[in-house]
């Protein structure tokens, strides 16, 4: 299908569809860049489960195609084109995750892997139809913001559950979609986006936290508490929330 005769070299600029691996690189670099300013070769390698040398090679190609700039030994940064491509893939991924959970009933811990494959195969048309069927959601089942088709994202930074003060109450907003075990456990203790959570106590050692989530009082470890992001609970407890619809539904 996508066979190009070798007579025509790399399509000059009008390369609308990237390969799966390229989309994965751009996505990973985007996320790393957001965290610590720039993405190191080994970080990308770690994120994609690939040898560092492979990353160097791919980076050279992507730099040549104008998706990023690379200062040898110094790391990599996306260009506008690169960022746009990354956000497009992230949008696809998150809309797919939303659709799979909300329409097709997938458990929230298994959609990441599925979306990871589909995001490279789905057409824009399909993605937008899914988004429309969902009422154009602004966040995915794990609370991650969905970039718009125009490439803008909600960039708010949230506090970690681990950083709450004892006695403080907050609303769970987000957690990484990458760890199925963690997600299954969170579902078990009902700690999902939109849930109210109060930090009841902090054990003196090992960072164990006692929470209150609904009726239960689960005890969780620090790795979990560092992964879960929260925002201040609405000051007026049960008043109509004028927050953007955080999809706590299901």
**Rule CB under 8 A: which residues touch a second copy?**
1, 3, 24, 49-50, 100, 104-106, 110, 113-114, 116-118, 120-123, 125-126, 129-130, 133
Whose Cβ is closer to DNA: residue 45's or residue 172's?
45
Q: Among a second copy, DNA, none, what binds residue 16 when CB lies within 5 to 8 Å by partner kind?
A: none
Smallest distance from the beta carbon of 161 to a second copy, in angstroms?
A: 29
Largest Cα–Cα separation, the chain: 69
DSSP E strand stretches across the chain:
68-71, 75-78, 159-160, 169-174, 196-202, 209-213, 219-220, 229-232
DSSP E strand stretches across 62-168:
68-71, 75-78, 159-160
Smallest distance from the beta carbon of 221 to a second copy, in angstroms?
A: 28
* CA 92 – CA 146 distance, rounded (Å): 9
DSSP E strand stretches across 83-240:
159-160, 169-174, 196-202, 209-213, 219-220, 229-232
Chosen residue from 29, 32, 47, 59 binding DNA by CB under 7 A:
59
Own/partner pairs, 36-44, CB within 8 angstroms, 24+ separation: 38/74, 38/75, 38/76, 38/77, 39/75, 39/76, 39/77, 40/75, 40/76, 41/75, 41/76, 44/76
Whose Cβ is closer to a second copy: residue 141's or residue 145's?
141
Smallest distance from the beta carbon of 58 to a second copy, in angstroms?
A: 13
Whose Cβ is closer to DNA: residue 10's or residue 221's?
10
Smallest distance from the beta carbon of 51 to a second copy, in angstroms?
A: 9
Whose Cβ is closer to DNA: residue 1's or residue 236's?
1
Whose Cβ is closer to DNA: residue 32's or residue 191's?
32
Q: Among DNA, a second copy, none, what binds residue 59 when CB lies within 5 to 8 Å by partner kind?
A: DNA
* Coil vs helix vs strand at 206: coil
Question: Binding of DNA at residue 51 (CB under 7 A)?
Answer: yes
CA 5 to chain centre: 37
* Coil vs helix vs strand at 246: coil
Whose Cβ is closer to DNA: residue 42's or residue 123's?
42
Residues 64-123 that bind DNA (CB under 7 A): 70, 72-75
What residue has token string 């609370």? 143
Which residues are near DNA by CB under 7 A?
A: 3, 5-6, 10, 19-22, 25, 40-43, 48-61, 70, 72-75
């Amino acid at each position: 299908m996508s066979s190009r005769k070798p007579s025509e070299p790399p399509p000059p600029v009008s390369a609308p569809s990237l390969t799966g691996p390229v989309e994965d690189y751009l996505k990973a670099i985007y996320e790393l860049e957001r965290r610590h300013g720039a993405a190191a070769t080994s970080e990308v390698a770690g994120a994609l489960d690939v040898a560092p040398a492979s990353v160097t090679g791919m980076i050279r190609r992507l730099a040549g195609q104008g998706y990023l700039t690379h200062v040898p030994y110094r790391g990599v940064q996306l260009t506008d084109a690169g960022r746009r491509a990354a956000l497009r893939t992230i949008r696809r991924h998150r809309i797919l995750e939303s659709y799979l959970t909300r329409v097709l009933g997938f458990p929230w811990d298994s959609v990441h892997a599925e979306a990871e494959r589909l995001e490279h195969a789905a057409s824009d048309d399909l993605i937008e139809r899914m988004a429309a069927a969902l009422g154009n959601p602004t966040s995915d089942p794990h609370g991650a913001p969905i970039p718009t088709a125009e490439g803008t994202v909600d960039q708010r930074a949230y506090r970690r559950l681990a950083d709450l003060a004892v006695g403080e109450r907050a609303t769970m907003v987000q957690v990484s979609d990458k760890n199925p075990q963690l997600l299954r456990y969170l579902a078990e203790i009902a700690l999902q986006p939109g849930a109210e959570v109060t930090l009841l106590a902090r054990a003196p050692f090992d960072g164990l936290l006692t929470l209150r989530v609904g009726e239960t009082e689960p005890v969780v470890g620090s790795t979990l508490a560092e992964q879960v992001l929260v925002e201040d609970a609405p000051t007026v407890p049960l008043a109509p929330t004028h927050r953007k619809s955080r999809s706590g539904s299901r």
